[in-house]
Amino acid sequence: MLIDAHIHADTRPYEDFEKMVISGIDAAITCAHDPLRMTTAAVVLDHFHRLLNNDIKRASANGLKLFVALGVHPRSISHNYDMVIEHLPNLLQNDLMVAIGEIGLETTSKEEINVFSKQLELADDLKTKVIVHTPRTNKKEVTETTTEIILENINPKLVLIDHVDFEIVDNLIDHDFTLGLTVQPLKMRPSDAVKLLKKYGTNKFVLNSDISSSPSDPISVPKTVHAMRMADFSEEDIKAVSKKNATNFFNLKI
């Protein structure tokens, strides 16, 4: 039984969910993002509605249990984003919403920092987990600012920082964060994940595919598990990054 801890189900065909389940994935977390030009809060809330309804059903029809993370992504900040944030406590009443996310910074603009801080404060008040995106461009610098803002606004134990790679891991590993490894054609190969886990251990990491409309591999988590087995990781280590750490962090009922 495997968990893919960060996907974008709304961008994927029905057949991907079947492929994932056949490859051993039983559960996944689909995160809010920027599939459209998010011109108003209503568009963002309709995106949430789709994830919570259509996508949960499409996944479940293939035997995949889908959980949801909802929030204002740095690329979906509309002029009335406050309305979206106001809805989050209500949306969290749904047991399938397990985190606020993905949120974070893309360029570190003032507005992004504002939206990010507000959501972190809210999550801290509600003791809700957050999934924090780190960008591809200026990754190191942006992640440094991201970390500062997190430490000012929320208990780090509530935070999963995602898309961690060799460039940023040293600055994150000594904090109380959970760390996401995104195994995706343009980000990290299974062999890179193996290398990183050999060096830093499996305690803090969770695997994900981040399948989206960018080049993606719906079975990158099982492929990484296979690569770990070939590299002589113990079954306990494999279970930690492919299931246990995510189940514990998000308190998943599976």
Task: Report which secondary-structure segment, H or E, holds 40.
Answer: none
156-187 as b/e: b if 16+ CB within 10 A: eebbbbbbbbeebbeebbebebbbbbbbbeeb
For the bound state, the minimum distance from the C-beta of residue 224 to Zn ion, rounded and expressed in Å, comes to 17
Q: How far apart are CA 64 and CA 203, in angstroms?
A: 25
Q: How far apart are CA 46 and CA 130, in angstroms?
A: 21
Q: Quick check: 34 binds Zn ion (CB under 5 A)?
A: no
Check if the beta carbon of residue 116 is closer than 8 Å to that of residue 149.
yes
The binder of Zn ion chosen from 16, 34, 106, 210 (CB under 5 A): 210
Cβ nearer to Zn ion, comparing 10 with 237? 10
Residues linked to residue 44 through DSSP beta bridges, in sequence order: none
Stretch that binds Zn ion, among 81-89, 141-149, 187-195, 202-210 (CB under 5 A): 202-210
Residues linked to residue 27 through DSSP beta bridges, in sequence order: 3, 65
For the bound state, the minimum distance from the C-beta of residue 241 to Zn ion, rounded and expressed in Å, comes to 18
Stretch that binds Zn ion, among 84-92, 186-194, 209-217, 240-248 (CB under 5 A): 209-217
For the bound state, the minimum distance from the C-beta of residue 7 to Zn ion, rounded and expressed in Å, comes to 8
Cβ nearer to Zn ion, comparing 164 with 238? 164
For the bound state, the minimum distance from the C-beta of residue 95 to Zn ion, rounded and expressed in Å, comes to 22
Per CB under 5 A, residues contacting Zn ion are 210
